[in-house]
Amino acid sequence: MKTSSAARITQLTQQGLWGEHCLHDLLAERVTQSAHQEALVDQPNREQLTGDAPYRLSFGNIDTASDNLALAWLNFGLTAGDRILVQLPNIAELVICYYAASKMGAILSPIPMQYGAHEIAHLAQSLDIKLALSLAKFKDDDPSEAFGKAQLKSPAWILGDDFKIDLNATPTAKSILAEHRSQAGVDANSVLTICWTSGTTGTPKGVPRSHNMWITTGSITAFNAENQPGERVLNPFPLVNMAGLGGFLFPSALKGLSLHLHHPIDLPIFLGQIQQEKINYTIAPPALLNKFAAEPAMWGQFDFSELRAVGSGSAPLSPAMIEQFETVYGKEIHNMFGSNEGTCLAATPHTSADPVTRATCFPYCGDHSDNWHDYPWNQVKTKVIDQETGETLTEIGAQGEFCISGPSVIDGYWDHDNQNVFTDDGYFRTGDLVEICGEKGQYLRIAGRCKDIINRGGMKLSPAELDILLEGMPGLAEVAVCGYADEAMGEKVAVVAVAQDPENPPTLANITEFLRERGIAVFKLPEYLLLTAALPRNPLGKVLRHELSALVEAQRSH
């Protein structure tokens, strides 16, 4: 299955932005160069998660295991373009599935472990899947039960019973699979995955991505992370979306990295892996980095001497945290901003030496800019448009919707009316609100989601701006801002927070004073505080701002 038009394929290929390699071709190169190099390592607590011993696999092992799995699917009756729904945690078998799908031309649709029968049934029907993959043990649960409750029309294979890692080489596998791909017309522009948007505002949308789209993203990410051949990288994010696939799986195949898996965020195990496996690069949540920055004594308890750099994102970064890590701990912090649809931005010490800039801003690249021309900024085009008129904005300080085009960007959503997804000139409308900033307009500051904007009496404000400031307030373990309905003003600002000390929580007056001290305009000050045990988040950890508003409305109605 291909979603890209012949014209787009020709254009990007002629420009040298797309090539002929599939994911399995990258693996073949790794096997030729270093077949015995350790390439894939399970977490040390895998037995507690799935009941199985952890794997340590070489590139040669991955090649053999994926050959066998692809051949098993082919013998089962699957063919190129068939969709496979897979719900597995971050374990070696999930990685093998991606390589196997590449080898036989199947389309893998991975879903988070948190999805239940309702979500599974909806996605399986939307995709018209031919096979589902699950497992019978994940911690204390049996995820395969959800597949039964979903009443799938397709067969379901269960890990250990119906499929497993098989390291016994099948001599004829490669020739059989190569012939199958050739007859089916599978190439680098064939869709490899259909991942799902995080669903912060409604039903998740399917995101088809080809090999070329993924390889572009992986190349840009590896460049920004400064990954070096043979490095050991630790992935704590689910291998179901951009962070795991674009940030780790494809860089590992492109650069020959040793990919170490972690699931879920189990802090003692995660920190232990960094030490024991001598990890060179990982991605960590902002909250964890903030905690280490605030407690040097805790940092000193660990041996992170092999750690070169840490990426972070999905929430605002603290400039003070970046400065502490780089000036005191000697570790680079990279601010990452990406999406399944193809956004892959990064602010590093090379683009933004100033911690304040790097914490909030990303290079603004494209035809309109004279500031960024080298790789990877010449790979993509970006612009900022007025949300209502569609006019391109260029002035410093202007806020609008962030739009992007280029080889990493999808052609459209799966089984979806894509009429308003792109601008008239082909830019993907991300829905992200950004501000053009920097002395030369060379940066974009992420201001939030366009739909999240709070309209207080005609004055519009971004809740993400207040989120960033409140991240640094003492006494708050978690915090996010939302709007709530008001008859006089239309909307007002509310803060939903988790107190570090529930016995001594901050007050609304404490919060407004903290913001006043930072020079916030009066109309942006919150007028309601809701203390809760935890913020509502989706399966990928993003705060569900619309649910925050619902919580506030429910509390105010009592």
Domains along the chain with CATH numbers: 364-450 (2.30.38.10), 453-557 (3.30.300.30)
The 8-class DSSP code of residue 209 comes to E
DSSP state of 482: E
Which residues does 311 contact at the CB level (< 8 Å), separation at least 6?
A: 225, 247, 281, 282, 283, 284, 333, 334, 335, 336, 346
Question: C-alpha 432: how far from its chain's center?
Answer: 15
Mean pLDDT, 10 residues at a time, the chain of 558 residues: 96 96 98 97 97 97 98 97 98 98 98 88 94 96 93 95 96 97 97 82 82 97 95 95 95 98 91 97 90 92 96 85 96 94 93 92 77 82 90 92 95 91 93 91 86 78 85 91 85 94 95 90 90 86 85 90
Closest by CA to 438, choosing from 353, 380, 320, 367, is 353
> Are residues 129 and 83 in contact, defined by beta-carbon separation less than 8 angstroms?
yes
Give one DSSP letter per residue of 271-332, joined into a string: HHHHHHTT-SEEE--HHHHHHHHH-HHHHTTS--TT--EEEEESSPPPHHHHHIIIIII--E
At residue 488, what is the residue type?
Answer: A
- What was the pLDDT predicted at 544? 85
Q: How many C-beta atoms lie closer than 10 Å to residue 360's C-beta?
A: 23
- The helices-and-strands tally (H runs, E runs) of the chain is 19, 25
Q: Which residues pair with 493 in a beta bridge?
A: 483
At residue 110, the 3 state secondary structure works out as strand
Q: Are 390 and 425 in contact (CB under 8 A)?
A: no
What pLDDT does 369 receive? 62
Q: What is the pTM of this model?
A: 0.85
Q: What is the pLDDT of residue 295?
A: 92
User: Which residue is associated with the tokens 């940030």?
Assistant: 247
Question: Distance between CA atoms of 64 and 173, rounded to whole angstroms?
Answer: 9
Task: Quote the pLDDT of residue 287.
Answer: 80
> What pLDDT does 404 receive?
95
pLDDT at 200: 43
Tell me if 235 sits within 8 A of 270, measured CB to CB: no
DSSP string, 341-399: TS-EEEE-TTT--SHHHHHHEEE--STT-SS--STTGGG-EEEEE-TTT-PEE-STT-E
- HEC assignment per residue over 229-274: CCCEEEECCCCCCHHHHHHHHHHHHHHCCEEEECCCCCHHHHHHHH
Q: How far apart, in whole angstroms, are the C-alpha atoms of residue 129 and residue 84?
A: 6
